[in-house]
Amino acid sequence: MAGCFSVHLEAVTSAAVPHLVIIDDDEPAAVLLSVDAYQALQDELEDLRSERLAIERLPGIDSDVTVSLEEMNARFE
């Protein structure tokens, strides 16, 4: 990796390869991603965390005190 880092970096940043796994002592040590790929992973992780939180909170919602989207929009018109 050290000898041709720029070649590997170009491959990842140009999307020629989605990622590179860096091996050290025959074991995976790191993953090289483009900034766009990293951001996409972060966005997906945030979405999944938000969805999990919503699913966890859903059983505790009191339908007698909830407001529909239409009602909420009407309040702010």
- How many Å apart are CA 51 and CA 57, to the nearest integer? 10
- How many Å apart are CA 8 and CA 13, to the nearest integer? 9
Mean pLDDT over 25-53 rounds to: 95
pTM, two decimal places: 0.66
Position 19 in a domain: yes
Mean pLDDT over 43-59 rounds to: 94
pLDDT given for residue 1 in this prediction = 66
Position 71 in a domain: no
Q: Which domain holds residue 31?
A: 2-60
Task: Using pLDDT thresholds of 50, 70 and 90, give the confidence band for residue 40.
Answer: very high
Position 55 in a domain: yes
Position 33 in a domain: yes
Position 77 in a domain: no
Position 40 in a domain: yes
Higher pLDDT: 50 or 2? It is 50
Domain count, the chain: 1
Position 75 in a domain: no
Question: Mind listing the pLDDT tens digit for each residue in 13-33?
Answer: 898 888 989 889 999 999 999
